[in-house]
Chains A and B, each alone.
Chain A
Amino acid sequence: MTVVVSGVGVVLPRARSAPELMAPAAGAPPVEPKDLVGRKGLRYKDRATQLAYCAADAALRDAGLLDDGGLRVPGGSVAMVASSNYGNLDTICRAIDTIAEHTAAAGSAMDLPNASSNVIASSVAIRFGLRGPNLMLCNGATSGLDAVHWAATLIRGGRASRALVLGVEPDNESVRAFTGGSRTIDGAAALVLESEESAAERGATASAVLGDYVRGAGLGRTLERLAETTGDRPALWQLPEQRAAAAPDTLLEGVDRHDLGEVFGLGSGALGVLQCAAAVGWFAQGGAGPVYATAGTDADDASAGIALRGRAAA
């Protein structure tokens, strides 16, 4: 079964569309969720969930699945897969500080749902009525690409006709302290993945075709396996986050490299989703040939990779 990308939403300080991931805007005001999706329903939601609402809204609208009247397809046909490593770290830190200083009696019951790391995936499902399978990946450096893989697996397995895949990382004092001072993207990106058949049935336009997913030890080996499955060299390589180990020059020599982390900050659990969105942006601007999205270096527990192709080349 062919799985295509039929919608993209990008909500970052320097990018509000897929093409802007490849050519970022200059100014960088923080994302203000109430300006994008209104105040309703934002109260008591952590920053990650608020950012997720914005990206989900944009992607579902881009795919033609959502209008002002609500979801335009049965809720059960849409799976939700979210990825974030640091999504609810701020809630955990604030709540444990309160307990340590003032006892558990001083805690807020409103923090209870946010203490469970899946609050992003379930909150988005509730807001938009997505009643299909609901997954929250918190899987380290590769988490965003893993989320894309699981969304495709759910579609191929017939569990859903389409899936919203969302990556988000909030920037706050707790996350900076925990990651040794890193500034995250403080934003989110989302994709709608769909079986080619389901997209065609409702007349939706596919902007990219999802290729095989590989995951295993070693970035070099991951690239080799991607080359084996695609039978082709990439035209563009989306680099993993290179905090601890840079991608050696000898890998994919001569292929254009794109480093989202350098421009937008620590992508972490959102990186893989950003990379796929950026590939869509690159295709939209006339980019041709496969794009390799890769996350996780030899300093991480594993690397993952996905190849994407533009619609025309499919």
Chain B
Amino acid sequence: MSWAVTGMGAVAGLGGDVDELFRNLCAGRSGVAELRGFDHALHTARHAYEVDNRPAPGVDVTRRATGLLLDAVGQAVRDAGLDDSDLSGVPVLVGTGLRELRSVELWRTRGADFPAAELHFGTALREAFQADDTHTLSNACSAGLYALALGVDLLAQGADTVVVAGVDVLTETMYGLLERVQPVPPTRVRPFDRGRDGVLMGEGAAAVVLSRVPGGRPVHGLVRDVAVNCDAFHVTAPDPAGIAEAIREAHTRGGVKPADIDLLMVHGTGTLLNDEAEATALADVFGPDRDKPLVTATKSMTGHTSGASGLLNLVVTLRCLAEGRVPPTVGLDDPVDEAAGFRFVTGEAAHRPLTVAQLNAFGFGGINAVAILEAAR
């Protein structure tokens, strides 16, 4: 069984919609810039991949995550031909790492007005779209793909239409605490490169509409299935064994073998731990077939958009499958040993007919999600 994606929406530093985002990624443009939202005097790190929509440089405001989410959901819903003034009864699943915790920080430090009812996204989704079956899933950096797994389960259990979204903006606590574990602040994200310094946060939102019956609507691509599990190993460090298990389960659920995968959209955060663990797990599962798929990591251009990253990668991957075009992994010059033998797209975008893709997302706490996607033909 596979499920049709009939609507897509996205917003990130590199673009305000799916077209612009995909164009910029394929051109190898990076969204990295000097930190905009926080007081530089309080931080040694200086860079991030933010959405440049604050009222003035250095002036941060509440509800930015909510704003990005509503933008992406609105795009996806209209793209699918649904009535964006009435989503009542349609499940809307939102994956997020950090919810509206940036607004909590602004309430705490600057006395900004921010009611508890807006900490989750249901309140704003109800106001904007009359959505009343909304679920804020706070599942760290795999939240978007975890939400996709739940959406697929709802369809399999009888739902007709499900909206799945992912969103995150920088929180100053996460940004600041990352400085404590990355002694040399990175100036950019370089997934799988020997010279990588670590991760930088990014901002964005993406949404898709999944339909049991497309009903004549254009189909952007198909979600075959999504595997989810938990390493039960460590609160921040990933476990290659748990990741490999999630990949194998995704292949089983999706009815594919490693040799069937044409494109691997990896999690690739540019941290020392993730990239080694992810490459080790991929090498374990793909074995001699590791040279078959093209591989790329968009966080090299979007930064780590946390709960949004899985769904941003989903819309990007469906575009890759539809157009036979794969964005490069920018900044990957000298791959780590664990990634040897994989065909990373570097330099410029690759062109090749593609049918099946695998998409990885992993989060703090060892929560893994792996999706199998297929081109619509």
User: Taking beta carbons and an 8 Å cutoff, which residues of A are in contact with B?
Assistant: 75-76, 80, 85, 89, 91-93, 95-97, 99-100, 103-105, 107-109, 111-113, 115-119, 121-123, 125-126, 128-140, 143, 146, 150, 153-154, 156-157, 159, 174, 178-180, 215-217, 300-302
Contact = CB atoms under 8 A, between A and B. Distances in A.
A192 to B, nearest CB: 17
B268 interface: no
B143 to A, nearest CB: 8
A75 B126 CA distance: 38
B154 interface: yes
A292 B346 CA distance: 57
B64 interface: no
Contacts of A136: 137-139
A121 B137 contact: no
A109 to B, nearest CB: 4
A125 B230 contact: yes
B217 interface: no
B133 A96 contact: no
Contact of B43 (A76, A95, A104, A150): A104
Given A107-B180, A156-B157, A216 B89 contact: yes
Nearest to A102: B42
Interface in B117-131: 117, 119-120, 122-123, 125-126, 130
Contacts of A180: 116
Contacts of A108: 177, 180
A215 B133 contact: yes
Given A99-B173, A130-B230, A301 B140 contact: no
B120 A302 contact: no
Contacts of A95: 173, 176-177
Contacts of A115: 171, 173-174, 177
Residue among B107, B108, B134, B233 having the largest count of chain A Cβ atoms under 10 Å: B108
Contacts of B24: none
Interface in B127-178: 130, 132-140, 143, 146, 149-150, 153-154, 156-157, 171-178
Contacts of A139: 120, 122, 134-137
What are the 4 closest A-B residue pairs judged by CB atoms, nearest first?
A122-B365, A104-B176, A134-B230, A113-B235
B136 A75 contact: no
B47 interface: no
A122 B105 CA distance: 23
A141 B138 CA distance: 15
B104 A178 contact: yes
A118 B363 CA distance: 9
B229 to A, nearest CB: 6
Residue among A123, A179, A302 having the largest count of chain B Cβ atoms under 10 Å: A302
Given A123-B365, A156-B157, A217-B88, A138 B120 contact: yes
Given A92-B105, A157-B153, A302-B132, A112 B120 contact: no
Nearest to B123: A301
B150 A150 contact: yes
Given A105-B179, A215-B132, A133 B229 contact: yes
A137 B42 contact: no
Contacts of A76: 229, 245
Interface stretch (B95-103, B203-211, B347-355): B95-103
B181 A217 contact: no
A285 to B, nearest CB: 33
B109 A140 contact: no
Contacts of A217: 88, 126, 130, 132
Given A116-B365, A178-B107, A302-B134, A105 B44 contact: yes
B228 interface: yes
B257 interface: no
Interface in B175-199: 175-181
Contacts of A89: 104
Contact of A138 (B119, B126, B171, B245): B119
A180 B55 CA distance: 29
B327 interface: no
Contacts of A135: 137, 139, 146, 150
25 contacts: A100-B109, A104-B44, A104-B45, A104-B179, A107-B179, A115-B177, A116-B138, A118-B97, A118-B143, A119-B365, A121-B139, A122-B367, A126-B232, A130-B230, A133-B146, A134-B230, A135-B150, A138-B120, A139-B122, A139-B134, A139-B135, A143-B120, A153-B150, A216-B133, A301-B125
